[in-house]
Structure formats: C-alpha cells, structure tokens
Structure 1
C-alpha cells in the first residue's frame, strides 16, 4: 500500500452485494470512519442543480432508464466530492456510482480513482449469470419487462475496469469477506 490514498478502501458493486455491511466491518476492524455514498449523494446532487421535479418527470415519461441517465452527471460529481472531503476511511459507493455509459464521465471517474490502490468490487460469484440470479433473489427482483438495473451493473465493464481487486461473496459471512479484503490490501 504505497499510494497517497493507500489507507482508503473503496467498495463498489451492484445493489445488494454487501458494500455497506462489509464496509461497516472493515471500518471497525481498521478503526477508520465509514463513509457511505448513500448518506451524502442527495446533498451533493443538490449542489449542482439536481431538479427533483425534472427527475420525477423523467421517471414518469421515460421510465427508470430515463431517471438513471439523468442521475449520471450527478453521480460523477458526488464521487469527486465524496473523495475530496473524506480521507483515511472505508467508502462504499452506491451501485450506480461506478458504472458509466458515457465515455467522458467514465474517464473522469477513472482518473479520480487512479490514485486509490484499494478499490474492491464485490460480486456474489465469478459466474455473471449466477451473480445476477443471487442478487435478484436477495433484492426480491420481479421482472416487469423493463431494464434489470442490477443485471446492467453486473454485465457493464465499468466496475471491472475500475476495480483493483474482485472479491466473491457467495456462501461467505460478511466477516469472512472482510478478512479476505484485509489480506488483499495487506492489512491482515
């Protein structure tokens, strides 16, 4: 761990992979604060003009994909703000904060995350279909014929390109996952 941000651990991954749960255990083990994107995101979005009325309109007229696309620049901004404000901590991103379809936004986030040596992608399994199945069960996902956002998060290349390590959580207790991450980052 030699980078200037080597004490930070950043957890990324789809919805329901255990980022917050594992982050809490890591923070306790390392005696570091835990910083959850979900706690800060909306205040950061407001800083650059997030419009709730427009967001609701997009959701109603364009469905989830419309609101998801509207969120992307706000998510990128939130990542930059969170990391600029919080140092020496365990960070758990919201699932969408590490997935970008727009190349410019992705490159921006890739550059922001480049100095961080401990970016951990949490997935249930190396088999993507199995990961999707497990996450759908965990999140009680019922298909309505529209985009399965977690399938998008699992299959999209962003998480894999940003992560320095991938940890598979299937059949592991959060404490086991925590120990594996500590070994990977050289703290165990």
Structure 2
C-alpha cells in the first residue's frame, strides 16, 4: 500500500518500549517548545480503520490466534498509522507506542524506517544504558500503571521492544532518562533540538 509522504515532518518523534515515559515526556517537550503533541496510541483508531483494523478486531485476533500472531497480523495497520500521523502532523512532537516501531515483516520495517527518516529528531527513550536495569524499570512501571508485565503466552514483549534492532536503527539519538524528572529530560532534548 502506498503511504503519503509528509509535506513537512514532525519536529520530534519519540520511540521506545512501553513504560519508557514517551507520552509524559512528549507532553512536556511540546509545552516547552510551544508545539502540538500527538500520542499515536491515542490517535491511531482512525488510522487503523482506514485499513480495516480496530482495537476490537485486534482483541478478536488475540483470542483466536494469540497475542504474538495477532501482533504480526496487525503490522500493516501499525505501519499505516505511523505514515499517516507523520504526514498529518507537521512540526509537532509525536510519541509512538512501542509496537509502532517493532516489525517482523521487513517490508513494514523498511516502510516505517523510510517515513521516520524524513523526521529530523527520532529519539529513542530508555530508562538506562544498562539493558537489565532498563528492563526491570520498564516492567515495574508497566505493572504499576497498567497492570501489565508484558509477558504474554510466554513471550516477553518488553524484552522484544527493548532489544529491537529496527527501533535502534530508526533513532537519530537515544536518551537515557535515569532518575531525571520529565522536565529535566525535556530540557536536555530541547537543547538538542
């Protein structure tokens, strides 16, 4: 499927695993930079519908084939959502949900990499440069805030998103939040921008 090319790219796109703080950080950056903030997880429904998907359909597929297989089936809808949000929201700050940069199909991965390559700042947000510390913090945050450890049917989605080489390649920079407040990390990223 042909995706629209953005006329003007978003100012900054935040990527990373679930629990990394992309939404909180994105809101803080957008406010400080006086730009609109778009959370793709919140806005994606209309984009999924354009290619015949919805969260309800995803849930049906999860029940039928399991989470891992359903995530693979859903890749086209996620890639479409990334292309559309980038095209529809120039000069904004966008946070992409973890699954929006994780693909098993090389065609979808290449498509999203191409779309994001037009964006000046694609920042991968992680808690720590140490993988095990990051994974433990991400799991703790996800369990505390969403009641979800992201280990489903024996598959560790958090570990997958954290280790995903595609997401690493899409990023123009990785930032480690460590123990910083979102305002401190936002200030660092704005200086970078």
TM over 0.5: yes
1:57 positional shift: 3.6
Matching residue of 1:61 = 64
Matching residue of 2:107 = 104
CA contact (8 A) 2:10 2:86 kept: no
1:34 lines up with 2:37 in the alignment? yes
The whole-number CA distance in structure 2 between the counterparts of 1:171 and 1:26 is 17
1:92 positional shift: 0.5
- Aligned residue among 7, 16, 21 for 1:13: 16
CA contact (8 A) 1:5 1:117 kept: no
The whole-number CA distance in structure 1 between the counterparts of 2:36 and 2:118 is 20
The whole-number CA distance in structure 2 between the counterparts of 1:41 and 1:51 is 9
1:58 positional shift: 2.3
Deviation larger for 23-32 or 98-107: 98-107
Matching residue of 2:146 = none
1:125 positional shift: 0.9
Deviation larger for 105-114 or 54-63: 54-63
1:136 positional shift: 0.7
Matching residue of 1:92 = 95
CA separation of 1:151 and 1:66: change in aligned 2, threshold 3 A: same
Matching residue of 2:4 = none
- Return 5+ residue gaps in structure 1 as ranges: none
User: Pairwise CA RMSD of aligned residues?
Assistant: 1.9
1:61 positional shift: 3.0
- Return 5+ residue gaps in structure 2 as ranges: 1-6, 144-148
CA separation of 1:88 and 1:142: change in aligned 2, threshold 3 A: closer
Matching residue of 2:75 = 72
1:176 lines up with 2:184 in the alignment? yes
CA separation of 1:183 and 1:107: change in aligned 2, threshold 3 A: same
The whole-number CA distance in structure 1 between the counterparts of 2:56 and 2:30 is 36
Q: How many residues align?
A: 182
CA separation of 1:7 and 1:108: change in aligned 2, threshold 3 A: closer
The whole-number CA distance in structure 1 between the counterparts of 2:176 and 2:113 is 22
The whole-number CA distance in structure 1 between the counterparts of 2:76 and 2:150 is 28
